[in-house]
Structure 1
Amino acid sequence: MNKIMKKPSTDLLPVPNVLVTSLLAGYDPNIITIAWTGILNSEPPMLYISLNPVRHSHKLIKESGEFVINIPSVSQVNVVDYCGLVSGRDANKFLETGLTPYSATYVKAPLIAECPVNLECNVKNVIFLGSHDVFISEILAIHYNEDVLDSHARPDIDKIQPFGYCLREYRSISEKLGSFGYSKKISL
């Protein structure tokens, strides 16, 4: 097997596609598409988002100290793309996309009603890394649309239909390959 080395880049595959909502007094609620996000800690549950300081959402999140991660389904890929291309300085993305703001429990930023999963977050720390600031945040609450839960009230991935971002392409996550711990039952 031959390997071809390339210069360092951000080619981690796949990364999530999420819509992050924010709100700051004097501004319309905003939506931004983020692919640079992930879980950081279990207790307390924490995650991060990474934002370039020139983005409109950066100001709203940095000054308010809160946001909501909204996990879209494959049927919302056009909205995800649009919210990553258009600035909230120039457009009210809730009005432009027809998405519905839904009141959160702990933060002022709205949930997106049409997204099957929403995570309310409170910023705990901001770290400047060069081109982006990393917002390290505690997850305060998770909301699920009822229709994406199974008969035991657990999230059903087949109903949520999340998708990923790979090398500037949106890719579906569709085939179950195994469950955590299944390799102990097979011979490698």
Structure 2
Amino acid sequence: MKKEYSVIPESMRNMEAYGFSWMDFVTAIPSPLFVVTSYKSNGKPNACLQSWACFNGSPRGFYAILSSVNKSGHMYQTIKEKGEVVLNFPSADIYEKCTATIANNGFDNDEITLSGLTAEQASSVNAPRIKECFLNLECRYLWEREIKDGDTHVLICLEVVNVCADEVHLDENVQGRYGEKGYLYNVHYPINPENFEGKSHDWIATLKKLKDMGEY
């Protein structure tokens, strides 16, 4: 039997939502994890672990849509100042180092190096990329907008101008982009709204290919 929710369930009324909608936690739709890197105004690398994004393209280009960027954070500030960033996709073996960027976020910090990772200059944009990440998308800022007027977060569109990827991850017969060594996903607070007791947390997940849909 399906349940329907158009207003916040009673069990969730006092939960800490950290700025998210209660529907985030009821749906718990996974989103890819990546680290956004750029240069701060003082030249130090900025790194921000990010999720809540989608990626799509057309014959005119390939784009990253970051759907929840805090206007008061370093990431938003550097994107607006520099207009160029790199999206770095880690595998599980370096996830803890990527989360360390959350703590090493001082304005005068090299947030990549302090977290035990290696910064290298991107090829096509003026931004650092993380050497240990198996995929790096070099991007330029296109536009932003508030989903609703007065929001503290904005939606930002980036155009991907260069793709840098490890060979072993490109070859599905060697390692590929999926499974335990591939893309990581943020599973955001999956809770049961019928009996939520105030105890929940995020999960990290990987993606397993299920069925070959055949050739185009």
User: What TM-score results when the alignment is normalised by the length of structure 1?
Assistant: 0.83
Query: In 2 relative to 1, CA 88–22 (structure 1 residues): closer, same or farther, beyond 3 Å?
Result: farther
Give the one of 27, 51, 54 matched to 1:38.
Answer: 54
The root-mean-square deviation of aligned C-alpha atoms, in Å, is 2.6
Query: In 2 relative to 1, CA 159–105 (structure 1 residues): closer, same or farther, beyond 3 Å?
Result: farther
For residues 74-113 of structure 1, the aligned pairs below 5 Å read 74-89=92-107, 91-113=109-131
Q: C-alpha separation between the residues in 1 aligned to 2:186 and 2:172?
A: 30
Secondary structure, counterpart of 2:81 in structure 1 = helix
Does the Cα contact within 8 Å between 1:51 and 1:133 map onto a contact in 2? yes
**Correspondence 1:142 to 2:160:** no
For residues 65-80 of structure 1, the aligned pairs below 5 Å read 65-80=83-98
Does the Cα contact within 8 Å between 1:56 and 1:88 map onto a contact in 2? no
For residues 1-188 of structure 1, the aligned pairs below 5 Å read 1-5=1-5, 7=8, 8-11=22-25, 12-43=28-59, 44-49=61-66, 50-89=68-107, 91-129=109-147, 130-150=151-171, 155-158=176-179, 160-166=181-187, 167=189, 168-180=201-213
Letter in 2 for 1:170: W
Q: Calculate percent identity across the aligned residue pairs.
A: 26
Query: In 2 relative to 1, CA 181–146 (structure 1 residues): closer, same or farther, beyond 3 Å?
Result: closer
Unmatched 5+ stretches in structure 1: 183-188
Give the superposition deviation at 1:101.
Answer: 1.1
Does the Cα contact within 8 Å between 1:71 and 1:115 map onto a contact in 2? yes
